[in-house]
Structure 1
Amino acid sequence: MKSNWINLLLTCMSIAVGIANGIRRIDSYAGYQVWRVVPSSIDQLKKLVNIGQVAQLDFWREPTTAGSPATFMVRPDQRNLLDTNLRDIGLEDYEIDLSDVQALITEQMAAITNHRKASRSTQRSVSTFDYSIYHPPSEVYEWMDMVAQEFNETTAKHQIGVTYEGRPIYALIFERESTQARPRIFLDALIHCREWITTASVLFMFKEMLTNPKYSHMMEDVDWYFIPMLNVDGYEETWTGDRLWRKTKSNGPSAECVGTDGNRNWDAFWSIVPGSSPDPCSSIYHGPTAASESEVRNLANYVQSFGDGYFDAYITTHSASQLILYPYIYKENEISEDDEALEEAAKLMSDAIRAVHGKEYVYGRGSTTIYPASGSTTDWTYEVAKIVQSHAYELRDTGEYGHLLPPDQIIPNGQEYLEGIRALKDYVLQNFSG
């Protein structure tokens, strides 16, 4: 048994060496697959986590608990070694969710391109904008301009900074004149740029709040601060090069490996491992210093410019696992003093989401509900910006498509997210002291 475990580690190390030496910009995922395994015990779970860390597997659904599935992307040259490793730890009954990642990317991009061409001429207003497809950065910018122009009495568009490559980062602010103080909720999307569903869902969500009388009260009850597209450089890369790019596009200490994981770069418990990586080639590289990334630094400065505790809630939007996570995320068994209030709000959001299409969103402290992750947005907004109701949403799905969620799920996901945010708005409003 001991020798098998040693062989497992040696095999994983050989995979890791191959990855470290071979990471480049990848424009083709031909032959890549997505595998699904279900660890049945804590021991299997730990060994799977170890394989993932050593081999730097790209998990699409993280291994979090025994009995729950985990999914990860596999390169063609990894298949035999990973098959052996999984069999060695008793996980020979794995399934292949996606047999060819590139085939799905090609199919989706063709369909999206054709749909965009057909609908482009009608996208002249917030109401007629096509919310059923994904949009590149230029069209998201256009959407923000339309919102600011059509709802100019209550909407302001602020540039909060620029990305590493010089693209503007905008925030939309929705405020109504009032003689009384009102709660303020901040929401961002697309810090991980391959998670297209995040921006697509929030565009739909705010369209509903702006144009649907059923949700107009959400604009009347609360002031909203909204960044639809934070990692614009990376998002552009996912449209023009590597569809599954995750990080920023900054140059780092390695000439071969570009970018930093923005959700490991915040100045809150930064660089603690496990949960982030000092390896520039890792998908969870935490960066050379805290807030080294222009996107993170500008957003942090913007939030802090209003003062501690100015916002009553902050939601950062991710995919894909169907989770609602709250602090602390950086360390297991680290419980915040607001744990009860955070859990109460998260449960209300989860219940509201389930009532829409029956989708289950598991909620809890991030470190134990998913995995420890240091330098996260959510820990920073809670610990540094003093925003008690700090949550990270992981939108659809639970592994079938992962980061390649089909466009026909945008609106249903947006409907779920909207009801979850409405539940949060109600909770914040009820507990607002002014």
Structure 2
Amino acid sequence: MRSLYLLLSLVVVAVSPSTVPTSYEGAQVWRITPPTLDIIGKIKKIGALFELDFWKDPSAIGRPVDFLVPAKKAGDIRDFLSREGITDYKVYIEDVQALLDDHKSAYEKPRERSATRDVSSFDYSVYHTVDEIYEWIDMVDSEYPFATKRQYGVTYEGRPMYVLEFKKTSSDPKPIIFVDALIHCREWISTASLLFIFKEMLQNPTYSHMMDEADWYFVPMINIDGYDETWNGDRLWRKTVSTGASSLCRGVDGNRNWDSHWSEDGASPLPCSYTYHGPTPASESEVRNLADLILSFGFGNISAYVTTHSYTQLILYPYGWSTQLTPDDQILNDTGRMMSEAIEAVHGMYYTWGPAAEGIYVTSGATDDWTYDEAGVKMSYTFELRDLGQYGFLLPADQIIPNGEEFLAGLEVLKNFVVDDFNP
């Protein structure tokens, strides 16, 4: 049966050009809350058999698992669950296509565009296209003398990759904080919330200390090709868009492609899998170029790194590849707790924190493990933003600014820690 589904998925990918919007007619999101490790194992088995798109991975007893169920596979998946003795599950999102339609009507609302638009008048309450985010980068670069746009590579399809450098003049060295977004391109809230956050740091006197006391580097879009795909083709596309010579399935999971315990547990060797780790470590130009940029700072010279994802409201830190704790586990845990408390104080949203593999799920080839081990960044975190599954990757735009406000509170805690801990 697995071979049949793999063959069908190959055929679908082969005949579905990215320029044609993907339909999720009849698709649903199902949720299982596993009561035992045995059930977790069975869910993983089902995922591999049906090549499921897990929206929330099977990770721990009592932690909900969400997965997309295509209409054509629903009966077979239901039968398989029954044979495995799993009857306690529910349809969590009844109609994915309807949710997509609502989401699309909101993000396609007319945008006011004018030649005089600037950072202040940019609309932070809506999601923005690739070109609009490029526009924002240019505006920041032109309006602020201490902000510099730097190209550090090109994507698979040839789009320029930019980092924004924020360095206010100072007689003393300052800690460096690096923030990225959109390595998983369907996670739109990651970039949207950070555009708002950096606007606040630039323009709101309450947060001016954040750029006064630290140098910031911000990559608004890593997987730019994939992000364009989510606007013009498949809104739920996750991976890069590269095409391997030996596969009809496009793309690699960029957050399984880093050269840190690459191809171990938590990543798939199957090119059609949503967690495909790629043919080699850093095979993707998006990952390779970013890695080169990070290494250009020198080992240990970046004080903190935050890679931004959604959803599930988590603050994770190394290791993801193993339950082995890092030598910095206590300080990472303490700071994670303080960030979670600061976030909750803003709008009451609770973020769970902890080492990725021990408390959440095993992931190999991930950004934060690589930055910790290979770039010497002690304070390496993955933030999983809103929500807990009601909308998943299709978070309504009216949550962008509230999510940005609470995420900013967490980043402020992190900044305060690295400033106090800084010893040049």
Using the size of structure 2 for normalisation, the TM-score is: 0.95
**Contact 1:30–1:102 at 8 Å: present in 2 too?**
yes
Correspondence 1:57-76 to 2 at 5 A: 57-76=52-71
Is 1:278 the counterpart of 2:273? The answer is no
* 2:294 corresponding residue in structure 1: 303
1:35 CA displacement: 0.9
Residue aligned with 2:91, SS: strand
Q: Following TM superposition, by how much is the alpha carbon of 1:53 offset from its aligned partner in structure 2, in angstroms?
A: 2.8
**Which residue in the other structure is 1:398 paired with?**
388
SS in 2 for 1:402: coil
1:63-98 CA-to-partner distances (Å, cap 9, x unmatched) read 222222111100111111211222334432322222
Q: Tell me which residue corresponds to 2:142.
A: 149
Match of 1:235 in 2: 227
The code of the aligned residue for 2:418 comes to: V
1:93 aligns with 2:94: no
For 1:361 and 1:182, the matched residues in 2 are separated by 29
Instruction: State the distance in 1 between where 2:220 and 2:111 align.
Output: 24
User: Partner letter of residue 120 of structure 1?
Assistant: R
Q: Deviations over 1:389-418 (max 9, x none)?
A: 001111111111111111111111111110
Which residue matches 2:178?
Answer: 186
1:112-261 aligned at under 5 Å gives the runs 112-114=107-109, 117-121=110-114, 124-151=117-144, 153-261=145-253
What's 2:406 paired with? Answer: 416
CA–CA distance in structure 2, aligned partners of residues 247 and 158 of structure 1: 24
How far off is 1:178 after superposition? 0.9
Aligned residues: 419
Q: Secondary structure at the match of 1:176?
A: coil
Change (3 A) 1:57 1:240: same
User: Which residue, 368, 374, 384 being the options, matches 2:358?
Assistant: 368
- The CA distance in 2 between the partners of 1:362 and 1:122, in whole Å, is 43
SS at match of 2:353: strand
Deviation at 1:203, TM superposition (A): 0.3
Q: Residue 120 of structure 1 aligns to a residue in which SS?
A: coil
Task: List alignment gaps of at least 5 residues for structure 2.
Answer: none
* Separation in 2, partners of 1:326, 1:100: 34
Q: SS state of the match for residue 297, structure 2? A: coil
Contact map agreement 2:336 2:354 (CA 8 A) in 1: yes
Question: What residue identity is the alignment partner of 1:129?
Answer: F
Q: CA RMSD, aligned part only? A: 1.7
Match of 2:44 in 1: 49
Contact persistence 2:247–2:271 (CA under 8 A): no
1:80 to 75, 78, 85: 75
Letter in 2 for 1:45: I
Q: Distance in 2 between matches of 1:350 and 1:366?
A: 15
Unaligned runs of 5+ in 1: 1-10
Counterparts of 1:195 and 1:160, CA distance in 2 = 22
Distance 2:59 2:38 in 1: 12
Code of the aligned partner of 1:412: P
C-alpha deviation, 1:170, in angstroms? 0.3
Quick check: 2:252–2:277 contact (8 Å CA) kept in 1?
A: yes
Q: Which moved more, 1:53-62 or 1:210-219?
A: 53-62
Structure 1's consecutive aligned runs of 4 or more residues displaced over 6 angstroms after TM superposition are none
- Provide the identity percentage: 51
2 CA distance for matches of 1:365 and 1:17? 37
Residue by residue over 1:207-261, the C-alpha shift from the partner in whole angstroms, topping out at 9 and shown as x without a partner, is: 1111111111111111000000111100011111111111111121344211111
The letter of the residue matching 2:389 is G
Q: Which residue pairs with 1:7 in the alignment? A: none
Q: Secondary structure at the match of 1:128?
A: coil
Output the TM-score relative to the length of structure 1: 0.93
Paired with 1:251 and 1:19, the residues of 2 have a C-alpha distance of 15
Distance 1:53 1:339 in 2: 32
Looking at structure 2, the residues matched to 301 and 166 of structure 1 have their Cα atoms a distance apart, in angstroms, of 17
1:268 aligned partner, one-letter code: S
